[in-house]
Amino acid sequence: MSKDFKRHRLVQMGVPAEVVERLHDLSEAYFDAKEGRLITEALEMFIETRLAAEPEVRKRYEAGRQRRRSGNIQNIHAIPGGKENI
């Protein structure tokens, strides 16, 4: 394949280049569907499958979502001045 995937942000996140290449190929096969859309669909399917298969993980998942949605998260810090200071 002519495209260099070694610098792709998914590879930088630890996804093997071969998987990124396959994602790109699937994206092209789906009439140039956005890779983000395919990743979203895959993650949704994975999450639902794992939660259905592992009740204890589902309990921890639901508890974590509840904490996040209630705003009871301790490690979020605002950056003064917004984007300019990043």
Q: Is residue 59 part of a domain?
A: yes
The pLDDT value recorded for residue 74 is 62
Residue 84 lies in a domain: no
Same domain, 28 and 52: no
**Number of domain units in the chain:** 2
Please tell me the predicted confidence (pLDDT) of residue 86: 44
How far, in Å, are 50, 52, 74, 84, 86 from residue 80 at the CA level? 39, 41, 18, 9, 9
One domain for residues 25 and 52? no
Residues 28 and 49 in one domain: no
Which pLDDT score, from 0 to 100, does residue 21 have?
A: 93
Render each residue's pLDDT in the chain as its tens digit; 86 residues.
446 777 889 999 999 999 999 999 999 998 888 999 999 999 999 999 999 999 999 999 999 999 999 986 565 555 665 555 44
Domain assignment present for residue 10? The answer is yes
| Predicted pLDDT of residue 49 | 97
- Distance, CA of 58 to chain centre: 18
- Domain identity same for 26 and 52: no
53 and 29, same domain (yes or no): no
